[in-house]
Amino acid sequence: MTLLRDERLAAAFDHAARSYDALVAVNPGYHAHLRRSARRLGLPGEGRGLRVLDLGCGTGASTAALAAVLPEARITAVDASAGMLEKAAGKRWPPGVTFTRAPVERLADAGVRGPYDAVFAAYLFRNVTDPDAVLATVRGLLAPGGRLGVHEYTLAGRRTDRAVWTLVCRGVVQPVAGALGDGALYRHLWRSVMEFDTAGRFADRLRTAGFEHVRRLPLPGWQTGITHTFVARRPRTERESGR
Ligand SMILES: C[S@@+](CC[C@H](N)C(=O)[O-])C[C@H]1O[C@@H](n2cnc3c(N)ncnc32)[C@H](O)[C@@H]1O
């Protein structure tokens, strides 16, 4: 199978939106890991006075993690899938949280404009056609010194990580997703991770995109060696970044 991209991917998520929350609820650590990644942004004062952008917010799991860690921040959450966004927007949110439908490739057209103090993207980057172009957009949306947090399935590179990922997908996720009519999306999930950057390669990609203080941090549980948090900053001055 080929990977799903753009409109085909959004349509697959539209359909999967019905069961997405139930599936992630039985994934041990899913919500706690998102909160851990949100904390790793290291933003001060519960986010008071800060603007935060959640890219690929889905049904709002990553948005909820940001709102829990940064209850005072103004959070803009964006997704390309109408179905996922409808689920997200139907939940209860603090007043500072808003939702916008847009592909991350066309944020300006949807009125999403910086500067943001932080951009967070959970399980987004391996889904986009051109991750470097999206990173360039994100860099431009961040204030000087602004923080990027990426939470992503990025294999550490050991043979056992690939084996565990394949076992989880083929043995647990795909049989359930297939019965729900979402087989294509969850086959995409397996392949998109196998074909995407390793964690080290993604950290290098962030540096090449002009981010500094790039750190790659592990997560516990079955996700060890499979899911990582990446934190990085936009340089304060263009000279600092050599651009
Ligand atoms: C696996 S879900 C993750 C959702 C949420 N961040 C979470 O942590 O549960 C990935 C989300 O990214 C969205 N997405 C994928 N490609 C996108 C793009 N190019 N522009 C905007 N959203 C995109 C999908 O619609 C989907 O809702």
32-46, pLDDT tens digit by residue? 999 999 999 999 999
Question: What number of other Cβ atoms are within 10 A of residue 45's Cβ?
Answer: 10
Residue corresponding to tokens 């049989």? 175
In this structure, which residue's CA is closest to atom 27 in ligand 1? 58
Q: What's the Rg (C-alpha) of the chain?
A: 17
Atom of ligand 1 nearest to the CA of 58: 27
64-106, pLDDT tens digit by residue? 999 999 999 999 999 999 999 999 999 999 999 999 999 999 9
Backbone angles phi, psi at 174, to 5 degrees: -65, -40
- Supply the pLDDT for residue 241: 56
Q: Is the CB of 62 under 6 A from ligand 1?
A: yes
In this structure, which residue's CA is closest to atom 26 in ligand 1? 58
In this structure, which residue's CA is closest to atom 12 in ligand 1? 56
CA distance 38 to 103: 22
Cα dist. 240→42, 45, 144, 145, 243 in Å?
Answer: 21, 27, 11, 11, 8
138-173, pLDDT tens digit by residue? 999 999 999 999 999 999 999 999 999 999 999 999
Cα dist. 110→80, 201, 209 in Å?
Answer: 11, 31, 24
CATH number of the structural domain 27-157+197-236: 3.40.50.150
Q: Is the CB of 193 under 6 A from ligand 1?
A: no
- Supply the pLDDT for residue 238: 73
Atom of ligand 1 nearest to the CA of 54: 6
Q: How many residues does the chain have?
A: 243
Between the CA of 56 and the centroid of ligand 1 the distance, in Å, is 3
In this structure, which residue's CA is closest to atom 2 in ligand 1? 58
pLDDT band at 228 (very low <50, low <70, confident <90, very high): very high
Average per-residue pLDDT for the chain: 96
Cα 79 versus chain centre, distance: 10
What single-letter DSSP state applies at residue 53?
Answer: E
